[in-house]
Structure 1
């Protein structure tokens, strides 16, 4: 059983002591994902592993599953997948967050490897992922009036007849030809042992998670049992999880945050996960009832992406007793300072940031909830791993380690790193001599804490959803009137960033933004990637070698947002707005007001606090 230590990790000195007291091998004897569930069931088989809320209604009777029952279901699922797919089958799944989703994921990793799929993608994109992964089995949510998952699954099987289709549906759902019913098939399998021998473990592939855009060949990131276990252990230790903790499980299980730090790390420590409906905080009823649920289930750890937490923090706590909350955990996107401050005002606790990445099996560093918290910091690296901030030299290569406070590229080493992409051609420039080049910019303070300072890569991060700008650019560039298209993140108070595309037309061509928007929506199958704004300009700025100069375009996007907020929403047309590239958060915004507008300055400062860039308000 993993040894997570006897006291919370609060400081860098605590981490150093933790690492010197025992080796990683001594602290982490588990060799497979199944070992995590075996150990937790041995510790307390009757303890609740998962509490499933379907609606969050006050009179709902939640479904609760113990650690002993969870272990049995994982074994049953592994046995089923082996029977259906043979040795080490690839098992893809399109499921909302359910107890069955956890059973599918961990059972698939025990028998073969899992391929979690974002079911919001278009069918053609999912088909590419399935083909690239080599999955033999597809587990999908059965017919449901609020979802098109099952319709997509049937279309996928028509496109790929070799797929074995497994349906997760309520008992009594009418049978369908050539479809395996997950619930009934599970019960035909033994729960106390594996029928095929030893579980997968060690350096065996446990899963392929998709990342990046969905155009061209999909990028599938490999996780091994070892890499997931090291990340899982680090998450449990750094978060200070104990069996008395109750965590709000709001991340989807096709995302590494839901899989590792808000999933397997919790199971390793024996905590209770409260699954807040199949769609989590995208369910308005759950958002409205959030604080009542937190009180009713004596939640100790509130977790979610910044945008979702920002929404629930607008809901009054009322008379609900939430004194059990000891901390908040957030990640997947940068945390706006205003959300952090509001969390403390509402709960009396601190919201701690986590840095994760699919290529690092979900986790890189954590600002430990046992500590005091450092505003804007994503804390220290996981135990027994290393994170350096390195200078970027010619051709994007990594140079020497930066000085304290110096911005550079975040580079990671450790056993939690992925062995690479399923297609090795994608490894170039990312996996370099046992080091992961994250593509993120950051710096460290004198205590060794890590801070994020923007991205050297151009991903647009909308509410934790990574959007490849290339798919937007390619879509708009396919229009005959468009000469150049450049997609950038437009600052947004709620989502952090929204996709915006700046377009240069061919000489003599005329078209309006509305028609370009319609064209983009026809061409882009990933709805979150639809541009929220398209701006036509005379000439897109280029570098001396002819590349689009995106820092300048980000400044344009930020200025347009600020003009809307300050000139429009706040009614200050005389305010001067300057936007410059750089700073610890990638952009600097300066607003200058006249001397008689001191009162208005406070409103401007409050409005800008919701954004992720550096801000300065001057009254002259």
Structure 2
């Protein structure tokens, strides 16, 4: 079945980007999005300059005790753009950043837009192994990092990573200094002299963002200026955002959702943003009161903790009008709790992915609260097909099948051409790998995942990546990793191990080994089960579904023990 009003596309071709990369590009779809008014053929820089000309003194972003007007952000971004041009960056140059939710993230994105650069956000939890692959994958010219943050010396880590790369990388340190790196203040000082800005093609790549896949190797998603800017327009239109709104940005700005909220909400939607560089429900409540916050979005644990903290304080947060939750399994009862406790807010589930960030937009009225709890949102500005996950045949409305999506906010494709093979159907619809069905001809309900990803607190974790490292341990004969239900994070990592004869291993040893191997803490198993053998099919493939059932039983037993 197909939901939407778009006609079928044609087979995509490719375009050559300014530095010689071949990029997947569907010209038929591009023509359609322009004719329907979705693609405006502009850039974030152009929109911000227009906003500064008309309302430059308006506060755009707040971080801690500092407020930044539109004009101030624009001026600093122009200086950074000048400095980057001075250092030889320009059209097509990849600009990476691994930073907390600091205002400099807005500056970096805007400066990149000015010079036709490509931003490459890196999640702060990534460590040496992931960073080496990702930075080498995109051939980043420069990377911005904090000197240190939350007990991690990012500058020292990035210096180690640079030694492992096959290309030159300049490291810029924010809010500090480190030997062998350039400080952000030094870089800005070189940008006083204005340099002419290049003409930027809105169809060119603007965002490169890695997303974990079931193959284990992260895939790099490509968004153009046009596909990225649509996200902000859809968000503002469907959720009725305006200049009177104050968006609390708790989602990491290196995630696609946080990136949209931090960079597009103020410019496209008009709302003011308040940046949180670390999540705390108590701190979020304080910020909502301090700034009359109206909107908050984040992964499931954020909402759970916010409701619990607000109840403990007997605080109904009367200014809050919009609470969107996604990125991990969202219990319907949690949405209902939020709706009951925050009487002026619309609480809802949303669904999307890095490839198609706004597949659903959530509900925008308390009159539609039940759909907000029981479904994963309204289908808006995107076309959905439900197909048989094996044959690809179209299915009827009420059938469960694989979800395919196509819309103006869909990525151009993946960086590596081979990753595009099988990612789209013949008409250009993206295969999400998720299972679901249409509800009341307007909403979508996610019922499962075709892919094997573990979603821990909104983070997509690849089992194969963890398994590959586990298999290098001398005591491990074979390993399989699955998601285990967890009351706070949605899922946690559970490893099933077959141990080599004469060896032994425990959770502490696995923890030490994986951390030393360079995996981030979120990927380290929270439970290890030693087994004699792994269940396999006649073809020898590990039956992950069986292991997930065992993990669910183990999780239930652990929670039961805690309640005794």
Give your verdict on TM over 0.5.
yes
- The residue aligned with 2:520 is 526
Relative distance call for 1:343 and 1:428 in structure 2 (3 A) is same
CA contact (8 A) 2:79 2:192 kept: yes
1:544 aligns with 2:538: yes
CA distance in 2 between partners of 1:183 and 1:214 (Å): 41
- The residue aligned with 1:386 is 383
Decide which structure has the larger Cα Rg and report it.
1
Q: CA deviation at 1:85?
A: 3.0
- The residue aligned with 1:299 is 293
Q: CA deviation at 1:550?
A: 1.2
Q: CA deviation at 1:236?
A: 2.0
CA contact (8 A) 1:75 1:194 kept: no
- The residue aligned with 1:485 is 479
CA distance in 2 between partners of 1:529 and 1:114 (Å): 25
CA contact (8 A) 2:48 2:70 kept: yes
Relative distance call for 1:261 and 1:145 in structure 2 (3 A) is closer
Q: CA deviation at 1:64?
A: 0.8
- Say which SS state the counterpart of residue 366 (structure 1) adopts: coil
Relative distance call for 1:267 and 1:354 in structure 2 (3 A) is farther
CA distance in 1 between partners of 2:5 and 2:388 (Å): 28
1:68-107 → structure 2 map (5 Å cutoff): 68-88=71-91, 89-107=93-111
From 341, 346, 356, the counterpart of 2:352: 356
Greater Cα shift, 91-100 or 154-163: 154-163
CA distance in 2 between partners of 1:14 and 1:25 (Å): 11
CA distance in 2 between partners of 1:319 and 1:451 (Å): 33
1:429 aligns with 2:431: no
CA contact (8 A) 2:132 2:161 kept: yes
Q: CA deviation at 1:541?
A: 1.8
CA contact (8 A) 1:327 1:351 kept: yes
From 141, 154, 159, the counterpart of 1:154: 159
Relative distance call for 1:322 and 1:203 in structure 2 (3 A) is same
Relative distance call for 1:145 and 1:497 in structure 2 (3 A) is closer
CA contact (8 A) 1:488 1:499 kept: yes
Greater Cα shift, 457-466 or 496-505: 496-505
Runs (5+) with no aligned partner, structure 1? 1-11, 16-21, 54-61, 572-620
CA distance in 2 between partners of 1:49 and 1:356 (Å): 26
1:181-192 → structure 2 map (5 Å cutoff): 181-186=183-188, 189=191
1:193-592 → structure 2 map (5 Å cutoff): 195-198=196-199, 200-212=200-212, 218-261=218-261, 263-276=263-276, 278-279=277-278, 281=279, 286-316=280-310, 318=313, 322-348=317-343, 349-360=345-356, 362-370=357-365, 372-373=368-369, 374=371, 375-383=373-381, 385-394=382-391, 398-400=392-394, 402-433=395-426, 434-505=428-499, 508-509=501-502, 511-514=504-507, 515-516=509-510, 518-523=512-517, 525-566=519-560, 568-571=561-564
- The residue aligned with 2:20 is none
CA distance in 1 between partners of 2:431 and 2:377 (Å): 18
- The residue aligned with 1:136 is 141
Q: CA deviation at 1:265?
A: 3.7
Q: Normalization by structure 1: what TM-score?
A: 0.78
- The residue aligned with 1:67 is 70
Q: CA deviation at 1:52?
A: 0.6
1:120 aligns with 2:125: yes
CA distance in 2 between partners of 1:216 and 1:460 (Å): 12
Relative distance call for 1:489 and 1:144 in structure 2 (3 A) is closer
1:607-618 → structure 2 map (5 Å cutoff): none
Q: Normalization by structure 2: what TM-score?
A: 0.85
Q: CA deviation at 1:425?
A: 1.4
Relative distance call for 1:122 and 1:312 in structure 2 (3 A) is same
Relative distance call for 1:212 and 1:321 in structure 2 (3 A) is closer
CA distance in 1 between partners of 2:464 and 2:440 (Å): 38
Relative distance call for 1:381 and 1:263 in structure 2 (3 A) is farther
CA distance in 1 between partners of 2:489 and 2:205 (Å): 34
Q: CA deviation at 1:524?
A: 5.6
Deviation by residue 1:226-246 (Cα, 9 ceiling, x = unmatched): 111222222222222111111
Q: CA deviation at 1:136?
A: 0.9
CA contact (8 A) 2:403 2:434 kept: yes
- The residue aligned with 1:587 is none
Deviation by residue 1:236-280 (Cα, 9 ceiling, x = unmatched): 22222111111110111211011114541443011000112x22x
Report the RMSD for the aligned CA atoms in angstroms. 2.9
Q: CA deviation at 1:561?
A: 1.2
- Say which SS state the counterpart of residue 494 (structure 1) adopts: coil
Relative distance call for 1:47 and 1:368 in structure 2 (3 A) is farther
CA distance in 2 between partners of 1:478 and 1:153 (Å): 25
CA contact (8 A) 2:213 2:453 kept: no
Deviation by residue 1:360-397 (Cα, 9 ceiling, x = unmatched): 2x3221113246231232222332x2122211224xxx
Relative distance call for 1:186 and 1:510 in structure 2 (3 A) is closer
Relative distance call for 1:44 and 1:351 in structure 2 (3 A) is same
Higher RCO, 1 or 2 (CA under 8 Å, sep at least 6)? 2
Q: CA deviation at 1:518?
A: 4.5
Greater Cα shift, 41-50 or 351-360: 41-50
CA contact (8 A) 1:499 1:532 kept: yes
CA distance in 2 between partners of 1:226 and 1:430 (Å): 21
Relative distance call for 1:195 and 1:343 in structure 2 (3 A) is same
